[in-house]
Amino acid sequence: MLRQISEDVRVNLKDRLREVRDTIRQSRHDSTGDASILREATSHLPPFPGKGIEGLLGHAASAVDEALSIAESFVPHERPIAVDGTTIKGLGTYFPAGNEDRQLSAERLFRRDMYYLTKAVLGGLKIENARIHEADFAAVHASMRKRHGDLLATLAAPDPGLQAISAACSALLVECLNQRPVRFAEATPETPAAFADRALDISCLAPVVLACGLATKGSDGSPEPDMLEIAILAAGIRHDRLVQACAKASPIGELTPVFATLLAHLP
């Protein structure tokens, strides 16, 4: 229990530090970001006696950002060497059977991979000013184990079958939409949107979930570097159908045939 509390604190702290780092980067003097971010961050300060306060603070933010970059280069990071299709693991790896140590290790791997894969998807879709929270992916992992243990148990079979993989992918997408690990600049977390209004969330999360399904289906072979790119394209083509399925009263049941069709026709 204490180990889990310590892990939760560490993950939440990482999310908060990333938010601070993003604000600093967007406040750099050479940043193309919105200047209103800097004005909002300094709105509590007294009026500065002179002109050029934003430029001065922008140069200060640049200096801090460069110092943090240098410091990061000396600190070992637990991150994939390359973020592409080889980063993706099968659902059986992320949700294995076993003792608490194995579950904690799988949860740590899941939220780390989901963070970097989602970040890669955001880059591929040219979506800026979005923040990814590892803590929310940890909540997704816990919710999958708690609510969908029966679906995950079927993945332990030598050949779980396309239907079982598709159902697990559907549950994973629904839990991701429930937890909202990706937050957009224009979103209002206090009033979460219904599934019908989650088109942008689905654009970002469905490719990652589909890629996990492809890795699960092809677990006997080597992961393909272009698997994530394939998943982004395929999820984009079926985006309207995914949105419609998520808006139904039983989204998992509606999503399962959609994922089954995609998984059956993709390599």
pLDDT surpasses 80 at 40: no
Mean pLDDT, residues 261-265:
96
Assign 6 a pLDDT band (cuts: 50, 70, 90). low
3-state secondary structure of 114: helix
- In the chain, what's the furthest Cα-to-Cα distance? 71
| Best CA proximity match to 230, nearest among 209, 250, 211 | 211
| Best CA proximity match to 55, nearest among 71, 39, 40 | 39
- Encode pLDDT of 95-127 as tens digits: 998 888 899 999 999 999 999 999 999 999 999
- The whole-angstrom separation of Cα 86 and Cα 75 is 24
Q: Is residue 115 within 8 Å of residue 134, measured between CB atoms?
A: yes
Assign 157 a pLDDT band (cuts: 50, 70, 90). confident
- Encode pLDDT of 245-260 as tens digits: 999 999 999 999 999 9
Task: Give me the pLDDT at residue 71, please.
Answer: 46
- The whole-angstrom separation of Cα 264 and Cα 259 is 8
Q: Any idea where the domains of the chain sit in the sequence?
A: 11-73, 85-265
Helices (H), the chain: 2-26, 35-41, 53-73, 91-94, 100-124, 134-147, 149-154, 162-179, 199-217, 227-237, 239-246, 251-265
- The whole-angstrom separation of Cα 263 and Cα 257 is 10
| Best CA proximity match to 170, nearest among 144, 196, 197, 193 | 144
Query: Residue 15, Cα to own-chain centre: how many angstroms?
Result: 12
Q: How many residues does the chain have?
A: 267
- Encode pLDDT of 197-209 as tens digits: 689 999 999 999 9
- The whole-angstrom separation of Cα 236 and Cα 96 is 30
Higher pLDDT, 81 or 183: 183
pLDDT surpasses 90 at 161: yes
Lookup: tokens for 43: 């709105």
Lookup: tokens for 101: 């140590």
Assign 51 a pLDDT band (cuts: 50, 70, 90). very low
Q: Is residue 134 within 8 Å of residue 14, measured between CB atoms?
A: yes
Across the chain, mean pLDDT equals 80
Write out the H or E segment, with its range, that includes residue 132: strand 130-132
| 170-208: b (≥16 Cβ within 10 Å) or e | bbbbbbbbebbbbbbeebeeeeeeebeebebbbbbbbbb
